[in-house]
Structures are given as C-alpha cells and as structure tokens.
Amino acid sequence: MTAIEVTGLTKSYTVSGGRGRRGKDDAAKTVDAVKGIDLHVEEGEILAFLGSNGAGKTTTIEILEGFRERTSGDVRVLGEDPATAPHSWREDIGVVLQESEPDSDLTARESLQFFRAAYANPRSVDEVLEIVGLTDSADQRTTKLSGGQKRRLDLATALVGDPRLIFLDEPTTGFDPSARREAWGMIENLRSVGATVLLTTHYMDEAESLSDRIVVISEGLIIANGTADDLASQVSSKTQISWDAAEVPRSALPPGLDVIETDNGFSIETDDVTAVLHALTSASTTAGTNLLSLSVTRPNLEDTFLRLTGDQSGDTA
C-alpha cells in the first residue's frame, strides 16, 4: 500500500519588497518554494529526503504533515489529504522534531503515559521503552537523561500512539559517533513494527545506511530518486584508484589508461575497476614491486549530492 502519494505539488509565497533606497516600498514578489514535485513512498519503506537550505525540503514535509497549506497539486498521506484529514488521521502520524525539550518534572515513563492518553489505540509504554532502548532509564527524571537518551524519548513519544508513518527530522544532530550508531539501530528497529519513515538528515552516511531509497530536492524540484548507487550513476561518479609512482611508473602501464598525475603519484578514475586493478597488479608483478600504496576510493553519497546540487558548502540541513 502507498503511504505517501504526491503529484504536481507547488507552494508559493508572496514576499514583501520592503523599503527601497528612496524610502518607497518596493513591489512584493512571489517566491516559488516548491515547483511541481511528484513523490511516492510505499508503506514500510524508509525514505531519506535530502536537500540544501532553501531547497523546498522543509516546506514539502510540513505540507505532508498537515502543518502548511499547499498552493496546488494533489497530496495523499495514508490515503487522506492532510489539509482536510480527520483527527483520526493525525493519530497515524508520528513526528520527531529536530529540537524538543521534555517536561523536566516527569520521568521518561510518566512522559510517555501523558502522551499515550491522547490516543485511542496506543502502544504500551513498556513496549515503546524497549523499542527505543530506554527500559533501564524509564524512571529517571528527564533532566537526568543524556542528550542521546532524550532523543530516544523524542522517538518514543512519536511511537507511543502506534503511528503508521513517522517523520524523522535530523534525528542524530549533535550526537557523538557512538550515540549516532546506537540511534541507527533504534531507527532500524522501526522496520520491526512496520512503520514507514521519512527521514531528513545532513549526514550522508546516515542516509545511505538507513534508507531504502533517497530523494534529492533542489530549488523546489526533485532532481534525483533511487539508491545511492543509482544517484552515483546519474552523475557518472567514478571510482578513483591511486598509487605511488615509484611502485608502478607510467612507463610500466599498458597504453589506453587515462592516468592523472597527483602530488603523491598517479590516479585513474574508472567505471571498470577490475580491469584497471588487473593492469596495475600485472605491471607491478612485471616490475617486481609491491603495490603497498594502492588505494581504491568508491564515490560516496556526499560526493554525489554535491555534484547533483552544485552545493559546494555541503550543507544539507
């Protein structure tokens, strides 16, 4: 079943022109934040929705969540139009904001009991605590929880209503590497409860590791859709093979290889990794040298994202 179905979505804003140099009001102008996108998400799928600042990502998500009106287009989330959906629809949606602060007077368990009371068919508190890994900290005041534990509580709050669809906004911002890995495991656990997840993140390794599929939005348009490998193919990203010139000099290589000279030796960018490695190892064997410096660097999602969007800052928040 389809969790999200969007066709031709647009959102425009009218921005005041402000005061000009001569004290006159400049004319208002229209800004097109979303320019006609189509988006499809299957139930049970984890989708990473990526975009730079101002790309239209946040506007799109807020429309899907029912918090912002659209200008045009057809939007169905769990079969309903978010703009007119009944209250019962809201119970099937879980939202984890980038920043939130739990009630300091409550324990983790009490906080979940408080939110649980708002739902007709919620999950048990103990089950949710186990899913997010807070069982041992359930009776601690929220002020005593670490940053990572508070983030777990954020997710628990979104899960306690037993939602079918969860929006995760930058779930590991500010985490240390260990806490991030723990959070990844927690998000993977959402598969076990059958939830659909729309994830935003500025960590490319996170998007690649957790998602079934990646969608990139830029300047109000979706410009890429697929796995990390699919996206890399779209921009013709190639694998880079590098080595020290002393180990295999250019003269020892067979003709036809497009060799690039670097500060530390040579490199080749290629789609045919096996053939190039065979040529290098054969040349090394013939020369009686060891390829100890050999390095094979596959293009990563960050490289692909930057080439897709032309965003040299790397800021995908």
From first to last of its 317 residues, what are the pLDDT tens digits of the chain?
A: 799 999 999 999 988 766 666 666 677 789 999 999 999 999 999 999 999 988 999 999 999 999 999 999 999 999 999 999 998 999 999 998 877 777 888 999 999 999 999 999 999 999 999 888 899 999 999 989 888 888 889 888 988 999 999 999 988 877 778 778 888 888 888 887 788 999 999 889 999 999 999 999 999 999 999 998 889 888 877 888 999 998 998 888 888 889 999 988 999 989 889 999 999 999 999 888 889 999 998 878 888 898 898 864 444 44
Judge whether 160 lies within some domain. no
- Residue 217: the pLDDT is 96
- Residue 316: the pLDDT is 46
Instruction: Give yes or no for a contact between 284 and 291, defined as CB atoms under 8 angstroms apart.
Output: yes
Judge whether 53 lies within some domain. no
Least Cα distance to 111 among 153, 65, 147 occurs for 153
- Residue 18: the pLDDT is 64
Our measurement of the distance from residue 240's CA atom to the centroid of its chain's CA atoms, rounded to an integer in Å, reads 25
- Residue 20: the pLDDT is 61
Judge whether 25 lies within some domain. no
Instruction: Give yes or no for a contact between 83 and 75, defined as CB atoms under 8 angstroms apart.
Output: yes
Least Cα distance to 195 among 187, 203, 205 occurs for 187
Buried-exposed string 192-208: b where 16+ CB fall within 10 A, e elsewhere: eeebbbbbbbbbbebbb
Rounded to whole angstroms, the Cα distance separating 45 from 165 reads 10
Q: Which domain holds residue 249?
A: 238-298
Rounded to whole angstroms, the Cα distance separating 93 from 78 reads 9
Our measurement of the distance from residue 133's CA atom to the centroid of its chain's CA atoms, rounded to an integer in Å, reads 22
Rounded to whole angstroms, the Cα distance separating 172 from 191 reads 18
| Number of folded domains that form the chain | 1
Rounded to whole angstroms, the Cα distance separating 133 from 195 reads 17
Least Cα distance to 286 among 241, 252, 242 occurs for 252
Judge whether 173 lies within some domain. no
Judge whether 144 lies within some domain. no
In sequence order, what are the residues at sequence separation of 6 or more whose Cβ sits closer than 8 angstroms to the Cβ of residue 124?
none
Q: Where are the alpha helices (DSSP H) in 29-176?
A: 57-65, 87-90, 108-116, 125-132, 147-159
Element (H, E) at 101: none
Judge whether 108 lies within some domain. no
